[in-house]
Amino acid sequence: MNWEVVIGLEIHAQLSTKSKLFSGAAVGFGAEPNTQTTLVDLGMPGALPVFNKEALRMAVMFGHAVNAEIGMTSIFARKNYFYPDLPKGYQTSQMDDPIVGKGALDITLEDGTVRRIGITRAHLEEDAGKSLHEDFQGMTGIDLNRSSTPLLEIVSEPDIRSAKEAVAYVKMIHSIVTYLGICDGNMAEGSMRCDINLSLRPKGQSEYGTRTEIKNVNSFRFIEKAIYTEIERQADILEDGGKIVQETRLYDPDKNETRSMRSKEDANDYRYFPCPDLLPVELTEEYVEAIRQNLPELPTQKAARFIEQYKLSDYDAGVLSASRSMADYFETLVNKTKDAKLSANWVMGELSKLLNQSQLEIVNSPVSADSFAELLIRIQDNTINGKTAKDVLQSMWDGEGSADEIIEKKGLVQVTDTAAIEAMVQSVIDANSAQVEQFRASEPDKQKKMIGFFMGQVMKASQGKANPGLVTPILQKLLQG
Positions touching ligand ADP (CB under 6 A) are 6-10, 155-158, 197-199, 208, 211, 267
Residue 314, SS3 per DSSP: helix
Residues in Cβ contact with 9 at an 8 Å cutoff, skipping those fewer than 6 apart = 155, 156, 160, 166, 169, 170, 194, 195, 196, 197
Closest CA to 320 of 141, 437, 175: 175
CA distances from 298 to 105, 290, 323, 420 (A): 12, 17, 10, 52
The DSSP 8-state label assigned to residue 90 in this structure reads E
Least separation in angstroms between residue 101's CB and ligand ADP is 14
In the complex, least distance from residue 123 CB atom to ligand ADP, rounded to whole angstroms: 11
* Nearer Cβ to ligand ADP (197/300): 197
CB 355 within 8 A of CB 362: yes
Nearer to ligand ADP, 208 or 397 (CB): 208
| 353 close to 370: Cβ distance less than 8 angstroms | no
Specify the residue, 19 or 156, whose C-beta has the smaller distance to ligand ADP.
156
Q: Which is nearer to ligand ADP, 249 or 465 (CB)?
A: 249
Q: Return the number of the residue (213 or 391) whose C-beta is nearest ligand ADP.
A: 213
What is the arrangement of strands in the sheet containing 212-217, beginning at the earlier edge strand? 103-108, 114-126, 150-156, 3-14, 192-202, 212-217, 247-252, 257-263
Quote the least distance from Cβ 266 to ligand ADP, whole Å: 7
Supply angle C-alpha 396, 397, 403, rounded to 5.
15
In 10 A of CB 444, how many CB atoms? 6
Please report how close the Cβ of residue 246 comes to ligand ADP at its closest, in angstroms. Answer: 9
Q: Which is nearer to ligand ADP, 158 or 464 (CB)?
A: 158
CA 328 – CA 322 distance, rounded (Å): 11
Nearest to 181 by CA among 352, 76, 296, 278: 296
Contact 105, 172 (CB under 8 A): yes
Q: Which is nearer to ligand ADP, 272 or 397 (CB)?
A: 272
Q: Minimum CB separation from ligand ADP for residue 323, in Å?
A: 25
C-beta of 10: minimal distance to ligand ADP in Å?
5
For residue 302, count CB atoms less than 10 angstroms from its CB and return exposed for 0-12, middle for 13-18, buried for 19 or more. Answer: buried
Looking at the Cβ atoms of 31 and 237, the one nearer to ligand ADP is 237
> By beta-carbon distance, which residue lies closest to ligand ADP?
8
Kindly tell me which of 6 and 283 has the beta carbon lying closer to ligand ADP.
6
Least separation in angstroms between CB 93 and ligand ADP: 11
Report the DSSP pairing between strands 192-202 and 150-156. Answer: unpaired
The span from the CA of 324 to the CA of 472, in Å, is 40
* Identity of the residue, 247 or 277, whose beta carbon is nearer to ligand ADP in the bound complex: 247
Q: What is d(CA 266, CA 321) in angstroms, rounded to the nearest whole number?
A: 40
CB of 82 to ligand ADP, least distance (A): 19
- Residue ranges in 124-246 assigned as alpha helix (H): 163-180, 220-239
- In the complex, the smallest distance separating the C-beta of residue 211 from ligand ADP, rounded to whole angstroms, is 4
Q: Which long-range contacts (CB under 8 A, 24 or more apart) does 43-51 make?
A: 43/86, 43/87, 43/88, 43/89, 43/147, 48/277, 49/21, 49/22, 49/23, 49/92, 49/148, 49/275, 49/277, 49/278, 50/22, 50/23, 50/24, 51/21, 51/22, 51/76, 51/278, 51/281
In angstroms, give the least distance from the CB of 316 to ligand ADP. Answer: 33
Q: How far apart are CA 318 and CA 334, in angstroms?
A: 17
| Closer residue to ligand ADP in complex, CB, 166/320 | 166
Provide the 8-state DSSP code for 305: H
* For ligand ADP, the closer CB: 7 or 70: 7
CB of 264 to ligand ADP, least distance (A): 7
In the complex, minimum distance from the CB of residue 157 to ligand ADP, in angstroms, rounded to a whole number: 5
Main-chain dihedrals φ then ψ at residue 450, nearest 5 degrees = -75, -20
Q: Tell me the H-state helices in 49-123.
A: 53-65
